[in-house]
Chains A and B, each alone.
Chain A
Amino acid sequence: KAGVTQTPRYLIKTRGQQVTLSCSPISGHRSVSWYQQTPGQGLQFLFEYFSETQRNKGNFPGRFSGRQFSNSRSEMNVSTLELGDSALYLCASSFTGSNTGELFFGEGSRLTVL
C-alpha cells in the first residue's frame, strides 16, 4: 500500500512569489492535514481537510490556503512568500478523520525562500 506522497520534495523560491504543494493521501483516507516544521517553532498545525471541506485551521495568516479534491488529494498554497516561510511542509492523512486516530505523514516538501 503506497504511503503519503508529497511533491515537490524540494523547492527554492524568492520573496514575493507564491508556491503550491501537493499531497496524495493513502488510498481510502479522507482526511488530510498540513503541518509546518521549523527548527524554532517545531511542528505547527496549518489546516485539515475532510471530504473536500476545511474542518480546522491553525493560527497562520491568510497567505496560507489549501484545498482538497474529490479524490482526497490536497494542495496547499502560500502567496507572497516571506523569508520566514522557509520550512518543511508535512502532509498527513488519516482514515477516520477523528482526533484519536493515527496520522500518516509524508516525507515533506522542503521550501527555501531567498
Chain B
Amino acid sequence: GENVEQHPSTLSVQEGDSAVIKCTYSDSASNYFPWYKQELGKGPQLIIDIRSNVGEKKDQRIAVTLNKTAKHFSLHITETQPEDSAVYFCAASSQAGTALIFGKGTTLSVSS
C-alpha cells in the first residue's frame, strides 16, 4: 500500500525566513497530495493541495511542488510568521473514497 515519508520532523526558523518540508510517496497511482496544518488542541486543517496533473500551486505565502517522476512533493512557506508555528502533515490519496495516507508530521517553530 501507499507509504508517505516526511522530512524534517522538526524545523526551526527565524521570522521572515523560508521553510521547506519535503515528502516522498511510494504508490505511483497516487493522484492527490494535500497539506494539513494542525495547531495545538485542534484538528488538522487543509492549507493547500495539488493534483497529479499539476506541477506547482501557490496561495499567497504558501506553495507546493510535485515531481511525479521522483515521487516527491514539497511545501514552501515564505516570509514565515510566528503564527505559522504548528505541525504540518503531508498526505497522499490513491484509493477511492477519502482515505489519506499521512506523513509523520513536521513541527515548525518560527521565532521572532
Q: Which residues of A contact B (CB under 8 A)?
A: 4, 31, 33, 35, 42-45, 48, 50, 55-56, 58, 90, 92, 94, 97-103, 105-108
The answer to whether B96 touches A100, judged by C-beta atoms less than 8 angstroms apart, is no
The answer to whether B105 touches A33, judged by C-beta atoms less than 8 angstroms apart, is no
Total residue contacts A-B, CB cutoff 8 A: 76
Closest-CB distance, A55 to chain B (whole angstroms): 4
Q: A interface, by DSSP: helix, strand, loop or mixed?
A: strand
Q: Chain B residues near A55: list those with CB within 8 A.
A: 96-97
The answer to whether A100 touches B97, judged by C-beta atoms less than 8 angstroms apart, is no
Please tell me if B70 contacts chain A, counting CB pairs below 8 Å.
Answer: no
Give the CA-CA distance A4 to B94 in the complex, in Å: 24
Give the CA-CA distance A22 to B83 in the complex, in Å: 31
Q: Chain A residues near B42: list those with CB within 8 A.
A: 107
Q: Chain B residues near A101: list those with CB within 8 A.
A: 98
The answer to whether A107 touches B41, judged by C-beta atoms less than 8 angstroms apart, is yes
Q: Chain A residues near B31: list those with CB within 8 A.
A: 99-100
The answer to whether B49 touches A99, judged by C-beta atoms less than 8 angstroms apart, is no
The answer to whether B96 touches A56, judged by C-beta atoms less than 8 angstroms apart, is yes
Chain B CB within 10 Å — which of A33, A43, A105 has the most?
A: A43
Please tell me if B109 contacts chain A, counting CB pairs below 8 Å.
Answer: no
